[in-house]
Chain A
Amino acid sequence: DTAVSQTPKYLVTQMGNDKSIKCEQNLGHDTMYWYKQDSKKFLKIMFSYNNKELIINETVPNRFSPKSPDKAHLNLHINSLELGDSAVYFCASSYGTSGRIDTQYFGPGTRLTVL
């Protein structure tokens, strides 16, 4: 009964390839997020979707394209992978309700290594 799940847990690939990371939440939340944690361990938000609509889009290369087929899923597709894309990617979800404290629940992370 995992709340926020991500697949795969580990992803090793060559530079230039295209890859996807999937995220699913069974908490009934309306908002989902992608964060990136680099080798220096800083966590930074990349994207956020609310009810399948993109609402946060930080300064991320357009090689990164999030896709939300429904509000329980937020996938991250990365084109033309580069060495600097190596990181741990975390998915998170929350209710995203206006006027209320909004706890975010994080997935276990996907460790991407680009060779």
Chain B
Amino acid sequence: DAKTTQPTSMDCAEGRAANLPCNHSTISGNEYVYWYRQIHSQGPQYIIHGLKNNETNEMASLIITEDRKSSTLILPHATLRDTAVYYCIVRVAGIQGAQKLVFGQGTRLTINP
């Protein structure tokens, strides 16, 4: 699976959009970009995933560059409850049962009141 690089930490004001970048310059054509987050003392939580196109769900938007070498997770109106460590993970999808997630250090996002 391709390696990802994320900033160690970021701050964002409550109510503003939080934009979390991720570099994955060695991503291959069949690898997806996944985002998970881990709120303090809880298990990781799936946020969103994408292959080539931009994606949006009720939690966030995912913008993937045309060359697919980087992506940005956008939390449109950050709240204090969005304070967490955010993990960008790149991996091949769909191998029967072999879906291990390789977590890096992630980005510690702090939402300030």
Question: Residues on B close to A: CB < 8 A?
Answer: 32, 38, 41-46, 49, 85, 93-103, 105
Contacts and interface: CB of A to CB of B under 8 A. Distances in A.
Interface string A79-115: 0000000000010101011111111111111000000
B46 A105 contact: yes
Contacts of A68: none
A101 B95 contact: no
Contacts, number: 72
Nearest to B102: A45
Contact of B46 (A104, A108, A109): A104
Interface residues of A, number: 33
Interface of A: 4, 30-31, 33, 35, 41-45, 48, 50-51, 55-56, 58, 90, 92, 94, 96-109
Nearest to B108: A41
B85 A41 contact: yes
B43 A106 contact: yes
A107 B94 contact: no
A5 to B, nearest CB: 11
